[in-house]
Amino acid sequence: MSGARLLARLDDLAQVGPIEGGGSCRLALTDADRDGRDLVITWMRDLGLEVVIDSVGNVVGTWNVGSGSAVMTGSHIDTVRTGGRYDGNLGVLAGIEVIETLMQAGLTPPRPLAVAFFTNEEGARFQPDMLGSLVFVGGMTVEEALDARAIDGPRLGDELRRIGYAGAHPCPSPSPHAFVELHIEQGPRLETDDIRFGSVTGVQGISWQEVTITGQSNHAGTTPMSLRHDPALVSARIVVFLRDLASRYGGDQVCTVGKIDLVPNLVNVVPRSATLTLDVRNTDESILRRAEAEIATFLDQVAGDEGVTIETRRLARFEPVEFDGRVVDLIEDAISHRGHSNMRLPSGAGHDAQMLARVCPTAMIFTQSHLGISHNPAEFTDPDDLVEGTDILLEVMWRLAHTDFDAAPGGNS
C-alpha cells in the first residue's frame, strides 16, 4: 500500500474545480466533473484496467483476473457546490490503490476486482441523488435518467453528451459478486467515541421535495401587513415547523431546508413566489412517513392561513436500506484483525452502496470525519485514517473475493 500515492491522488483530484478553503466544486456533468473523470480514468488506464462507460456515464475500471463476477468497490467524484476533498473521492481512489497494491505485490484474487464511480451521486445538480447507481442496478430507466433536468436548466442526457460521457454500455449492468464502499462518516459519531473505523449497517431513508409557494407581489412600503400574501413568510414558517418537528420526534430525525429562492428577490418588493427544498430523513420508514404526512398537513394549513397556494414536487424518495449482515460482519472482522475497535452504525448520508445493496451483498466502511463536518471545504480526515481505511478496504475486498455467497442478499444481523 502506498499511502503517499493515495494522498497525492486525493490532492490532485481536489485541484480539479478548486474552491476557497481547499475543497472542490465538481457539480455533476459540468466541465469540472469532466476534468475529474478524465483524470481518474487516466489512473485506471495506467494500471491496465478495462474501462467501461455506460449510458448514464457511470465508469467502471476492471482488473480482469480469475473468473466469475467482480468484487466491486467505488463511490462518486461529483461534489456539492461546497465540496470537501474526501466525500466520494476517497472511495474511488482507495479502490484504485487497492488494485495497484495487489498488482505490485503479485497477489492475484480468484475473481475480477472493479472500481467504479457513479454519475450524480450528490443530487445537487440533478435529482434524484445516487442517480447513476440507481440506473446501474435497474431502479430507474436510462430514458428517465437522461430526461432529468439540472437546476440550471439542461437535460442530463445533453450534458452527458456535451462532456463526452454518454457511454455505449447498457444499463442495468450485470450484478457484481459483492460491493463495498469506503467513505468518510460525514458525521461526529466515530470521533466522539474515539473509534477510528466503523462498519456501516445501512442507510437512513431520504425524502426530498421541492415546495413552490405563490402569493402576491406588492409594494413593501405601502402594503398593510394585514393585506399580504407573502411567500417569504410562509417559507420561514415551514423552516421553523421542520425544526420543531425534528425536536418533537427526537432520535434520528433530521430536517433541512437547504435552498430558498424568492422571486423577484428585491429589497422593496413583497415576493411573488418562493421555491424551497425539503430534505427529511429517518432510519425508520414508518416515522419518516409520519413526518411526511405531518408536513403535508402543515403545508395545507399554512396556505389557508396566509392566502397563498403551495405546490409540491417529489425530487427523491428512498426507503431506509439495511446492508448485508455477512458483509457487515466481514468488515467488522477486518477492522479488528487490523487491531482497531469498531463501531456499527447507520449512515446519515446517502451512498451509491445503498443502490448496489439491491443486487449483491453490500456494506460500507467509515473513517472518522473531524468535527463531523462535510459538504464543506473544511471536511477533514486524518491522513493516517485515509491510508489505514484503504488497507481495511483491501483486506475486505480480498476476503470478499474468496467468499461464496448464497443467491439472495442476507439481512443485517
- Record the cell numbers describing residue 342, joined without a space: 469498531
Helical (H) or strand (E) element with 114: strand 113-117
Among positions 95-124, residues that touch ligand GLV (CB under 6 A) are: 122
Q: Residue 276: which of Mn ion, ligand GLV, none does it interact with, CB under 5 to 8 A by kind?
A: none
- Asked if 129 contacts 350 with a C-beta cutoff of 8 angstroms, the reply is yes
- Asked if 109 contacts 151 with a C-beta cutoff of 8 angstroms, the reply is no
Options 129, 159, 181, 332; binder of ligand GLV; rule CB under 6 A: 129
Q: Residue 350: which of ligand GLV, Mn ion, none does it interact with, CB under 5 to 8 A by kind?
A: ligand GLV
Q: Which is nearer to Mn ion, 322 or 352 (CB)?
A: 352
Distance in Å, CB of 233 to ligand GLV, minimum: 28
- Please, which residues have CB within 8 angstroms of residue 405's CB and are 6 or more apart in sequence? 177, 178, 326, 360, 361
Distance in Å, CB of 101 to ligand GLV, minimum: 28
Q: Which is nearer to ligand GLV, 350 or 377 (CB)?
A: 350
Which residues lie near Mn ion (CB under 5 A)? 87-88
Q: Residue 129: which of Mn ion, ligand GLV, none does it interact with, CB under 5 to 8 A by kind?
A: ligand GLV
Distance in Å, CB of 326 to ligand GLV, minimum: 25
Q: If binding is defined by CB under 6 A, does position 350 make contact with ligand GLV?
A: yes
Q: Which is nearer to ligand GLV, 122 or 332 (CB)?
A: 122
Options 270, 315, 343, 349; binder of ligand GLV; rule CB under 6 A: 349
Distance CA 114, CA 47 (A): 12
Which residue is listed with cell 492475484? 108
Site string for ligand GLV, 261-280 (x = CB under 6 A): --------------------
- Asked if 64 contacts 112 with a C-beta cutoff of 8 angstroms, the reply is yes
Q: Which is nearer to Mn ion, 88 or 231 (CB)?
A: 88
Distance in Å, CB of 375 to Mn ion, minimum: 6
Distance in Å, CB of 274 to ligand GLV, minimum: 22
Distance CA 150, CA 80 (A): 13
Distance CA 256, CA 310 (A): 18
Write the secondary structure of 266-330 as one string of H (helix), E (strand) and C (coil).
Answer: CCCEECCEEEEEEEEEECCHHHHHHHHHHHHHHHHHHHHHHCCEEEEEEEEEECCEECCHHHHHH
Per-residue buried b or exposed e for 273-297, using 16+ beta carbons within 10 Å of the residue's own CB: bbbbbbbbbbbbeebbeebbebbee
Q: Residue 385: which of Mn ion, ligand GLV, none does it interact with, CB under 5 to 8 A by kind?
A: none
Binding site for ligand GLV (CB under 6 A): 122, 129, 349-350
